[in-house]
Structures are given as structure tokens and as C-alpha cells.
Amino acid sequence: MADHRRLIPRTDALLAEPALVEAVRRLGRARVRAAIVATQQRARDGELAPGEVLTAVLEALPGSAAGLLPVINATGVLLHTNLGRAPLSEAARQAVELAAGVTDVELDLATGGRGRRGRTALAALAAAVPAAEAVHVVNNNAAALVLAATTLAAGAEIVISRGELIEIGDGFRLPDLLVSTGARLREVGMTNRTAIADYAGAIGPGTGMVLKVHPSNYRIEGFTADVPVARLAELCRERGIPLVADAGSGLLAPEPLLPREPDVTSWLNEGADLVTTSGDKLLGGPQCGLLFGRADVVDRLRRHPLARALRVDKVTLAALEATVAGPPTPTWESLHAGQATLRSRAEHLADRLRDKGIDAKPVDSQSVVGGGGAPGVSLPSAAVALDERAAAALRRGRPPVLARVENGLCLLDLRAVPADQDDTLLASVHAVLAAY
């Protein structure tokens, strides 16, 4: 009997296959060759027939040179931190592709000399927030606070309410971040109640700045009180101390659907000297930290040596500009999707799944903003309900589908799923559950 191992395709023959030639172009020769060698070994061990090697190699290769997998977010959480928060718009994706090449990010083509880095992105931000005299961009909102604290309060005190000493995901604590800059914290008020007199009594010769923080991932209710930005700004002006306000959740202007969520424009109009926020939350853009405020304050931060270490790259600047100046983002569209439309989509998907022999039904649902935004706010939504055991299987699909399990059901909430992904969602669910 002939040794079946002699029939296993050689490495050079496989590398010459058109499909693998294309894979080498996308992924690099080393990665493709490693997949070939591993698959050939499986064939030698009898796991595969020699004629199945090419197909198995193609199945083993990732879709791109990056290790990330595209995921369908059917959790009902618009800004899922574990899924990278805001998905970029098509305009932003095109801008990223353009910026990945050689660009004039820091060149004045008219003179041939050095130009202002990211000038068009900064101009777009300035146009979006006319209340700001100047703007600046750094890596993320934490970096924005680090830059502000280092520039304005290193070796001095930051006056902050005890009710705003927040902790966010993965054990990250704001006080630790602020103290790392060399500033000292002067805590005022109580966890649930802080008054203007608490700030007034704490501000003194050793004060570098007053910090107002929006507790964006939790809400205190009951016997509570805090100081509005307008009143705090008045006190800070009287004392000659800068007021820095962390809006956090990425709104540049008021959002009627989220009336309790602060926005950059409103806080600047109320008198804050500097407002920071995130680019990858409700703004719907790439991860970055945005700083808006008085020209002299922003210029001090921009010229601090630390600003160089915190600056963003050309790809982020391009995506940010396209987000701010371009069409509505996927985040905006998901936030404003009507429940009737979501319910209609859920009914259609459930009907198609039942036609394929899968037990599915449309149900009303509740979604949330997530990503440290709009705590306690529920958005009426709709979902396709499956057996709760489907959730684990769907995570292993291609593409993976991340659902949520609630009341013994696996819910595919559609608020964060763009309508043009419905067919992909249907195919992935069917492919996984047909063999379930």
C-alpha cells in the first residue's frame, strides 16, 4: 500500500496556489508558510486527507495581518469598552486609509516648511465647538487630565469633590492618576453632598486648579447636592484659579435624548476654563482625548514637554476630523434609532431564522449607552430571542456574535447592530445554530 504521506502537497507547490499567493500578499510569507507546515503535519498524523490540505490551510489563516476579529455587537450596549467602544464611520475609515500613506500631516505645502500638526482636524474641532478659544488633542481623556494636572498643578493642590473621586474599569482610579503628576489632592465635601462653601474654604495660595468631574459611569440619588459649573466658575474667577471640567462621555453639544449628560459647549459657556472629553464615546470617533478652552490655558498645555509624549498620530487625526466634519456616525445612528424600526427588524430576522428551522422570536428590549456614559439611562430597543445556550456558540462563530443572556434567553439586541449587517448576522447565527 502506498504511503499516503507521499501525496501531501509540497510547500512550494502550495505557495504557488493562487489563493495562497494572495494570502502571502495580505499576511506575509512567514505566516502563510507556518500555516502550511502545521497543516501538512496534521495530514501526516492522519487528521486530514492529502486533498484537504489546501482548504485547511486557507481556513487556518486569519482574515488580516492583525490579530483582531470583527465582532457583531448584539449586546444592546452602544459603546462596549471590550469591543473598542465607538465603531468608526465609513468616512473615518476612508480617512484612515488615506492617512496610512504619506501625507502632509505636519508640512505646509505652500512654503515647504513645517506646518501645524493636525491643523485641519483642529480646525474641524474648533468649528464644532465655537465656544472654545482653542483646542488640543492627546491620546485619551486620561492623558488630557494628566496634561492639565501636570501643567497647572504639579507641586500644588487640585481641589476636587469627594463625590467625584471615581474609579472606572480594570481598577483605574482617578485620584491615583492625578497624584502621579506630582499634584496633591484637596478633597472637599461629602460623597453625596458638596457645597460651594466647601470649595471656597479649600482654595488658597497652594491651589493649582479646581477640577469638576462628571461621574459618567454611576449615579448617586437621594439626599444629594453638587455645585454647578457656572457657580464654580464664578468662584474660580474671583480667586484667579483655573477651573478644569472633565465631561468624559464625548458630547460636544447638548443631546436631547440624554438631557442629564454634560457636553463641552454648555460647560464652556458656563465658564469652565478647560473642558476635557473622550473621542471614542458619544462623539463616535477614534480613541483620543479632546481639550477645549481658553486660548492661554490650552497654549500652556500644548507647549508643555509632556504634550509631545501624549500626541496622537496621523491616522487618529484623520479619523477624528472625518468624524467631526463628516456624516452622522454609527454611534449617532444607533442612539437615535427608533424602537418601531428596531422591532420591525427583529420580527423580520426572527421570521427568517424560523424559516431555517431555528427557534427565534422578536421581543422588546432595553439598551444602554455604555462606555462610561449616561448611567441609569435605558433606551427602548428590540431583540431576537434564542435559547440562552446559543450565546456561547455564537461567540465562536465567524464573525463572532456577542449577545447578552437575560431571564434565561440569549438576546440579540439590534440597537448597536447597523441595519446593513442584518444579513451577516442572520448568516452567522444560522451557520452556528444549524449544527447546534
The residue type of 227 is V
DSSP state of 225: B
Query: How far, in Å, are 5, 23, 46, 65 from residue 57 at the CA level?
Result: 17, 10, 15, 15
Q: How far is CA 314 from CA 106, 173, 291, 324, 380, in A?
A: 9, 30, 18, 15, 38
The mean per-residue pLDDT over the stretch 225-229 comes to 94
Q: State how beta strands 274-278 and 379-387 pair.
A: unpaired
pLDDT tens, residue by residue, 64-119: 777 788 999 999 999 999 999 999 999 999 999 999 999 999 999 999 999 899 99
Handedness of CA 71, 256, 216, 383 (dihedral sign): negative
Q: Which CATH number fits domain 90-327: 3.30.930.10, 3.40.50.720, 3.40.630.30, 3.40.640.10?
A: 3.40.640.10
| pLDDT at residue 153 greater than cutoff 80 | yes
Q: Looking at 8-22, 160-174, 286-300, which range is the least confident one?
A: 160-174
Residue 289: how many other CB atoms lie within 10 Å: 25
- Coil, strand or helix at 363: strand
CA distances 158 to 49, 209, 235, Å, are 69, 5, 15
For residue 131, the tally of other CB atoms under 10 A from its CB is: 17
pLDDT in the model for residue 4:
67
| Statement: residue 329 has pLDDT above 90 | yes
Four-way CATH pick for 72-84+333-433: 3.10.105.10, 1.10.10.920, 3.90.1150.180, 3.30.750.24: 3.90.1150.180
Q: How far from 337 is each of 73, 80, 221, 330, 349, CA to CA, in Å?
A: 15, 17, 29, 10, 17
* Per-residue pLDDT band at 1 (split at 50, 70, 90): very low
pLDDT > 80? residue 216: no
Helices (H), 100-163: 119-128, 141-153
